[in-house]
Amino acid sequence: MNKYFISLLEEETPKYIIITRHIKKLIDANKIEDGERLPSIRGLAEFLDVNNVTIVNAYKKLQSEGYAVQKIGSGTYAKRKDISKNFKKEYSEVLKKISSKALYEYIDFTGETPNNAFFDIGAFKNVINEVLDRDGAEALVYQEALGYEGLRESISEVFWANKVNSDDVLIVSGAQQGIDIVSKALINTNDSVIIERPTYSGALSVFKSRRADIFEVPMESGGVDVERFEKILKKNKIKCFYTMSYFQNPTGMSYTTEKKKQILRLAQIYDFYIIEDDYLSELIYDKDIEYRSFKSLDENDRVIYIKSFSKIFLPGIRIGYLISPIKFKDSIQNSKINTDISTSSLMQRALDLYIKQGFWKDYISNLNNLYKDRYLFTEKCLKEFLGKKVDFISPGGGLHFYLKIRDCIKVDSINLFRMAKNRNVLITPGTLFYKNPSDGRQYFKMGFSKTNENNIREGVEVLGHLME
C-alpha cells in the first residue's frame, strides 16, 4: 500500500488533511479495500517522514468522516462509506449542468429514447397543419375527460384489434404520469406492493412517495423469480405488482409467456393487481421473442396496462394511455382529472391522424431496422473491449444493455461514472434502480439510442481502459 503515498506531502495544506484526503480517495477507488488494515501509525509516520501525531490526527479525521474504524489492540481499518444513497442527486445535477449544446461534446450512453434525427419532422408538421385546417380552434380548446375520442378509437383498432373498447382507454401524459395516477388511485400508506429488483427509478420514487411497503423480487432470465414471488404473497397482503414486461429498465430482460401466465394465476389466487408498463416492446430484434402482453393474456381483469408513445416517438409530445380493470376505472379517471384535467388536445389529434395515415407503422418499421444494426454493433463492441471485465445478457431488443462489473475489477459503477464523465463519456450507474442503492454498485446501464457507431466504439473503448 505504501506506493500510493509517494510524493504526497508537497502541498502547503496541513499534512494530516492531505493524508486524510488521499486515503479517502484510495478507499473510494477500492485501492484500499473495505475492512483492510491501514498501516500502523509509527510505520506510516516513518514512511512519510512526519511525526506520529500527524498520522493520529489523520486517522481520527477518517473515523469522524466514516472512512475508518479503530479496533482496540488491533489497529485502524478502512471503512467504505456508502455514497450510493446520495448519488441520485449528484447524477441528476451532472446531467442538468451539461446543457443540450454541451451534450454534443459527450458520448452519451444515458439516453432512453430514440434519436430525433430518425424522425421525419416534415411528415408530422404536415399532419399538425392538416388537423388545424380540419378542426380549427377546436383542436386547441376541446377537451374530453378520457382523451380525444378519435385517438382512443385508433388505439383500440390499430393496437388491440378492437378487443379493447375505446371507452376503456384513458389518455395520459406519458408512462410516468400513468404510474403516478394509478398509485394515487390504488395505493394508500402502508399498502404493500411488489416490484422487480432492480426496477425503473421513476416508479420506485412514486411508490416511496405513497409510503407503501415495498417488496423486491429479483429479475432473472424470463422474468422475476416466481418461487420467491409467491413466498412474499403467502406472508403479506399485496395490493399490486409493478412490472415492465419487455426489455425491462434496467436489466433489458423480457418475460416469457409461461411466466406471465404463472403470475396472472397468482394474481387471481392472492387477489392483487398487475401494473404493466409496456416499455419499448415495439423494438424486438430477436425473432424468438414473442410479443404477448400481460393484458392480452388477462382473463380475470387483473391488469392495469400502461403504454407511452413518448418513449418510442417524440418525448416532447408527452402522450400515453392506460387501460384499467372495470373495478378501478372511475377512481383512476378521477385521479387523472385531479392531476391535470386533460392531455394536449392538439397533440392527441395529430397523433391520431399520424396513426390513421400509416406513418406510425412505417416509422416503427424503419426504427427497428436502424436500431437492430446499432444494437448488434454495440453488442460486438462490448464483447471486444469489455468482454473480460463485465458480464451481460443480450436483451434481443430495446435501446440499452445492463452490465455487471466483475469482482476482479477494482472499480464500482459510481467511480466509473465519475471517471468516464471526465473523459466525456456518460453512463448510468445501477445504484439508481434499487430500493437499497448500494445493491447496484457493481452494475451500470449503457444506452445506445443517442450515439452513432463511431462514438459507441470510442466510448466503450474508454470504459475498457478506465476499468484497467
Residue 116 domain-assigned (yes or no): no
Which H or E run includes 201? helix 201-209
Task: Summarize pLDDT for 364-382 with one digit per residue, the tens.
Answer: 999 999 999 999 999 999 9
Q: Are residues 305 and 403 in the same domain?
A: no
Task: Summarize pLDDT for 188-211 with one digit per residue, the tens.
Answer: 999 999 999 999 999 999 999 999
As given in the structure block, the three cell numbers for residue 411 are 472499480
Other CB atoms closer than 10 Å to residue 46's CB: what's the count?
A: 13
Q: Are residues 230 and 284 in the same domain?
A: yes
Asked if 180 and 339 touch (Cβ cutoff 8 Å), the reply is yes
Task: Summarize pLDDT for 250-269 with one digit per residue, the tens.
Answer: 999 999 999 999 999 999 99
Q: Are residues 267 and 405 in the same domain?
A: no
Q: What is the C-alpha to C-alpha distance for residues 67 and 35, in angstroms, rounded to an integer?
A: 10
Q: Are residues 155 and 291 in the same domain?
A: yes
Q: Are residues 49 and 72 in the same domain?
A: yes
Q: Are residues 61 and 142 in the same domain?
A: no
Q: How confident is the model at residue 100 (pLDDT cuts 50, 70, 90)?
A: low
Give pLDDT, residue 98: 77
Give pLDDT, residue 120: 82
226 pLDDT above the threshold of 60 = yes
65 pLDDT above the threshold of 80 = yes
Q: What is the C-alpha to C-alpha distance for residues 324 and 326, in angstroms, rounded to an integer?
A: 6
Q: What is the C-alpha to C-alpha distance for residues 80 and 31, in angstroms, rounded to an integer?
A: 11
CA 372 to chain centre: 21
Residue 284 is given by DSSP the state B
341 pLDDT above the threshold of 80 = no
**Mean pLDDT of all residues in 207-218:** 95
Mean pLDDT over each residue of the chain, to the nearest integer: 90
Indicate the SS3 state at residue 61.
helix
The residue type at 90: E
Choosing from 78, 97, 130, the residue where a domain stops is 78
Count of structural domains, the chain: 3
Other CB atoms closer than 10 Å to residue 98's CB: what's the count?
A: 18
**Mean pLDDT of all residues in 344-369:** 92
Q: How confident is the model at residue 468 (pLDDT cuts 50, 70, 90)?
A: confident
Residue 62 CB partners (closer than 8 Å, separation 6+): 20, 23, 24, 68, 76
Q: Are residues 289 and 403 in the same domain?
A: no
The residue type at 245: S
Asked if 425 and 463 touch (Cβ cutoff 8 Å), the reply is yes
Residue 74 domain-assigned (yes or no): yes
Backbone angles phi, psi at 239, to 5 degrees: -85, -45
12-16, 172-176, 374-378, range with the lowest pLDDT: 12-16
Give pLDDT, residue 85: 66
Supply the DSSP string of 113-153, one letter for each residue.
S--GGGS-HHHHHHHHHHHHHHHTTHHHH---SS--HHHHH
Q: How confident is the model at residue 418 (pLDDT cuts 50, 70, 90)?
A: very high
452 pLDDT above the threshold of 90 = yes
| Beta-strand relationship, 443-447 and 400-405 | antiparallel
Q: 26 versus 149: which is more confidently predicted? A: 149
CATH number for the domain harbouring residue 249: 3.40.640.10
Q: Are residues 368 and 353 in the same domain?
A: no
CATH number for the domain harbouring residue 377: 3.90.1150.10
SS3 content of the chain, % helix, strand, coil (to 5): 50, 15, 35
Q: How confident is the model at residue 81 (pLDDT cuts 50, 70, 90)?
A: low
Find the domain containing 319 and state its range.
121-360
Q: What is the C-alpha to C-alpha distance for residues 93 and 188, in angstroms, rounded to an integer?
A: 31
Give pLDDT, residue 295: 97
**Mean pLDDT of all residues in 54-73:** 88
Task: Summarize pLDDT for 43-58 with one digit per residue, the tens.
Answer: 999 999 899 999 999 9
Task: Summarize pLDDT for 28-37 with one digit per residue, the tens.
Answer: 766 787 788 9
Give pLDDT, residue 101: 60
CA dihedral of 40, 46, 51, 55, whole degrees rounded to 10: -30
Q: Are residues 159 and 240 in the same domain?
A: yes
Q: Are residues 384 and 451 in the same domain?
A: yes
Residue 426 domain-assigned (yes or no): yes
Give pLDDT, residue 142: 65
Residue 195 CB partners (closer than 8 Å, separation 6+): 203, 204, 207, 214, 215, 216, 217, 241, 242, 435
Question: HSE-up of 295 (CA within 13 Å, CB side)?
Answer: 21
Give pLDDT, residue 144: 80
Give pLDDT, residue 111: 82
Sign of the four-CA dihedral 145, 150, 151, 154: positive
Q: Are residues 424 and 351 in the same domain?
A: no
Q: Are residues 396 and 302 in the same domain?
A: no
